């Protein structure tokens, strides 16, 4: 059992209520958060999310307004804010593609959202292990 980084409670992350999950904010700096997202996406082999993250980082370097939006979304935002932030690179609600991946932009946004949830809850390593067991193990 560990202390939740935001709620300052000793509680397993899988026992948090929906309301406690909603209150969870990123307890790290923007730079650390971005590195943790990058690590999660690399470790889980979620290339689409990694490409999308790099596009956002590059845009934030040349667009001050976007940089501020990105910082606010990654440090304080929710799933909705992530969808809005990354809408500069594609529509989350785009029609299904005829070939795999069927929803490339949505999948990329969702992978970053999943990374953020595990970072906020402080269980990145467990989330990476679970994801890889389900999706990346050799059969």
- CA quadruple 104, 105, 110, 113: dihedral positive or negative? positive
| Residue 75 phi, psi (nearest 5) | -95, -25
Domain boundaries, the chain: 28-135
Q: Distance (Å, rounded) from C-alpha 139 to C-alpha 136? A: 9
Query: What are 9-65's pLDDT values in tens digits?
Result: 444 555 666 666 666 778 899 999 999 999 999 999 999 999 999 999 999 999 999
Query: What are 52-92's pLDDT values in tens digits?
Result: 999 999 999 999 999 999 999 999 999 999 999 999 999 99
Instruction: Burial-class residue 50 by CB neighbours within 10 Å (0-12, 13-18, 19+).
Output: buried
pLDDT of residue 139: 67
pLDDT of residue 27: 86
């Amino acid at each position: 059992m560990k202390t939740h980084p935001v709620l300052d409670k000793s509680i397993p992350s899988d026992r948090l209520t929906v309301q406690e999950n909603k209150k969870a904010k990123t307890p790290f700096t923007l730079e650390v958060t971005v590195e943790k997202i990058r690590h999660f996406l690399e470790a889980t082999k979620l290339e689409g999310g990694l490409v999308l993250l790099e596009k956002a980082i590059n845009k934030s370097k040349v667009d001050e307004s976007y940089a501020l939006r990105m910082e606010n979304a990654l440090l304080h935002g929710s799933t909705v804010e992530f969808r809005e932030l990354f809408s500069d690179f594609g529509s989350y609600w785009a029609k299904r593609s005829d070939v795999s991946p069927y929803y490339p932009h949505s999948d990329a946004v969702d992978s970053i959202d999943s990374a953020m949830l595990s970072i906020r809850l402080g269980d990145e390593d467990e989330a990476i292990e679970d994801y890889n067991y389900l999706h990346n193990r050799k059969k």
